[in-house]
Amino acid sequence: MKAGSLEHHQQSAAVAALHSVDPDKVLADLLAGAEGLHGLAEQLSMTRNAALCDQIAAHAEGIRRAAHRARVAILAKPSVA
C-alpha cells in the first residue's frame, strides 16, 4: 500500500476510528471544513480569481476525507439512544 494513497487513507481512518477517535470532534472538523469551503466559494464569486478553483478542489478533497473519517468514527462508536 502506497503512503498517501486513498487505500492508505481509508485504512488509517479506520484504525484511528477504532482507537477512540471522538465522532463529535470529527464532525466538528467536518463542519469547520465545510464553513471554510463556503468562504472560499464566496471569495471566488466576488473575485472571479481562477486560482481559487484549485484551492476549492483541494479543500473539497479534504472535506471528502473528513466525511469518510466521520462515517468510520460513527460506525465504530454506536450512539446510545
pLDDT tens sequence across 21-71: 788 888 898 999 999 999 999 999 999 999 999 999 999 998 998 888 888
Q: Is residue 21 part of a domain?
A: yes
Asked if the structure places residue 32 within a domain, the reply is yes
Does residue 23 fall inside a structural domain?
yes
Closest residue by Cα to residue 79 from 30, 28, 26, 23? 23
Query: How many CB atoms sit inside 10 A of residue 13's CB?
Result: 20
In a domain, 56, yes or no: yes
Residue 75 has pLDDT above 70, yes or no: yes
**Does 80 reside within a domain?**
no
For the chain, the domain total comes to 1
Examine residue 1 and state whether it is found in any structural domain, yes or no. no
Residue 38 lies in a domain: yes
pLDDT of residue 10: 73
C-alpha–C-alpha distance, residues 43 and 35, integer Å: 12
- The residue segments making up the domain with residue 36 are 6-75
